[in-house]
Structures are given as structure tokens and as C-alpha cells.
Amino acid sequence: MASRKPLVIVSGLFSELPAGDSLSTVELAAAPSGIIYVGAKLGIDGSAQISGNAGISAAVTAQASGNAALVVGTTALASGNAAQSTANTALASGNAGISSAILKLPLSGGTLTGDLTLNAQSDLRFADGDSSNYIAIQAPSTVSSNLTLTLPASDGTNGQVLSTNGSGTLSWATAGGLSAATQVEMEAATSNTVAATPLQTNFHPGVAKAWLKCDQNGNISVSHNITSITDTGTGVVTVTIATDFSTANYVVTATVAPQALTIGVSITNSGVFATDCRNSGGSPSDSSTYFFTCFGDQA
């Protein structure tokens, strides 16, 4: 078998020894597989002897350079990792941007899962059918503390309004708020917190309970709470009240026309009274027109 020529590495170039040359002295220990490592130059003297020490030094230098290269490579790897980290951060930022875009409420509508704040007294506007006009709700110019109004859970009945309990909870309540005055309250005429309804007004002491304009023949022109009148004699007209007073202790004011006559009234009972009309001589005399007004407490 032919002997293998040693391979020499010179400054990164591969070459074989010229034919006929030999390495008489090689002091490079542990040169694997006949390969000799030389850092910069291959020193060969006249007897083709390699300066082994120089080769060893060169090999060590080359090894150190390798270590330096390894360090540089490691640094480059670290820089690569940093670049990868930067790329990952950029990707995370990109994802955040995508996430932010996904979380925006579309103009066509959608569901908002958090609170919505309109700054600087901005309006919440509800447009009409063709969006030409709107109804807006806004906060007052100054709010001393935060306030939350909670709507009722269901619709109210016809005519009801929203009412608050003073703590922000709204509910449906009957409009008005005032209760009708009772008969006792109307008769006392002292309360300002109850309503005087048309029916209950009859019980107020300052209100006429009955009134009448008629002639001596029993013809009624206008009246209130009067059932009938009867001509029961000269100068005498008997009047029947529709809703009686509570007692016979009530007041009737009466006037006649022409005013040359005088008239008196006699109260028969809680629902009937009669006139006594006389002329200037004191004799009974009919009047062409009678006027009556009645005050008192109704039953």
C-alpha cells in the first residue's frame, strides 16, 4: 500500500508536500490523521525539517483564534437572540394592534361590554327616522359627585311616570302625587298637601252648596244643587235642595228684583227653605225674579 502524504494547512490553503520531500523532524504532537496545523507559514529548512515549536505556537494561536471566533459567534448568537426578542416584541405589538382593532365598536353597531364615558358634557343623541333631528340627553354643567340611575325592570301602566327613591333607583309611580282631600279635610280648610277635587269641593265651608235664579211661577233660569221650586202663596216660594245639608243649620242669602221689595227666608229642614217677600207697606208681594245662595255643611 502506498504511504499517505501528510496534508499541510497553510493560512487556510490546503497543499501537499512536493514529491520527494519528507518531514524528518515533526514535533507537533497529536496531529490527527497526518494533518499538520500551521498558523501562518509552513517553515521548511534545507533538510525539509518543520520548525515544530513554531508550528505548535501557530496551532495554539490558531486555537485561540478559534476560541475568539467562538466568542464572536456566541456574541453574534446573543445578538441574534436579542434580534429575535425584538422581533417577538414587534410581533406582540402587532398582535396588540390587531387585538385593539378587533375590540373597536363598528359603526354599524355592536355590543359594548364596558362603561361608556362622554366627556365635557357631550350629548347622547337619538336621531329621528331620517336623521334630520335628534333628541339628546346630557349631564348638567357641574356634578358634585357621581350618580347612577337604575331603570325599573319592567314597563309601567298607562299614565305612570318615573319616580326616584332618592338613592338612584327609579320606579313607576302614578302621576300627580297629591291625594284627594277627605270631607273632614275640606271642611277644616287648613291643608295644603291634598287636592280639592270637584266632588270634595262641596264640603269646603267657603263654597256655595246650592244657588238659584228663578221667577215666582217656578221657572228656573240657572241653578246648582236645586231639585225644584214651588209657588206656595203670595210672596212665598218653596225651594227643595237636591243634596241636603247635614243639619238645618245652614245659611241662605236671598235678593229679589225689583229691589223695592224685601225678602226673608225661613228654613224648613236640611233640604227645604221658603221665602217671605213683602212690599214697602209690609204686605206679601210676589217678585218677578228671585236669587238664592246657600252655604253650610253638607251631609
Q: Give the three cell numbers for residue 165.
A: 327613591
| Contact call for residues 25 and 52 (beta carbons, < 8 A) | yes
pTM above 0.85, yes or no: no
Distance CA 268, CA 239 (A): 10
- Sign, CA torsion 214/216/219/225: positive
Banded model confidence at residue 119, pLDDT cuts 50, 70, 90 = very high
Residue-wise pLDDT for 3-35, tens only, equals 554 544 444 444 444 444 444 334 444 444 445
Out of 5-19, 68-82, 191-205, 272-286, the most confident range is 272-286
- The confidence score (pLDDT) of residue 23 equals 43
Residue-wise pLDDT for 210-223, tens only, equals 999 998 888 999 99
How much is the mean pLDDT over the chain?
75
| Contact call for residues 104 and 110 (beta carbons, < 8 A) | no
- The confidence score (pLDDT) of residue 47 equals 39
3-state SS class at 138: coil
What Å distances lie between residue 275 and 94, 175, 240, CA to CA? 105, 48, 12
- In this structure, what are the phi and psi dihedrals at residue 217, rounded to the nearest 5 degrees? -90, 0
Distance CA 256, CA 277 (A): 8
- The confidence score (pLDDT) of residue 245 equals 93
- The confidence score (pLDDT) of residue 179 equals 79
Q: What is the domain partition of the chain in residue ranges?
A: 1-103, 210-295
Q: Give the three cell numbers for residue 201.
A: 269641593
Mean pLDDT of 37-49: 41
What are the respective helix, strand and coil percentages of the chain, to the nearest 5? 20, 30, 45
| Contact call for residues 212 and 237 (beta carbons, < 8 A) | no
**b/e per residue, 177-207, with b = 16+ CB within 10 A?**
eeeebebebbbeeeeeeeebeeebebbbeee
Distance CA 7, CA 35 (A): 5
pLDDT > 90? residue 45: no
Residue-wise pLDDT for 47-83, tens only, equals 334 444 444 444 444 454 555 444 444 454 455 555 5
pLDDT > 60? residue 116: yes
pLDDT > 80? residue 123: yes
Distance CA 176, CA 159 (A): 10
Distance CA 1, CA 22 (A): 18
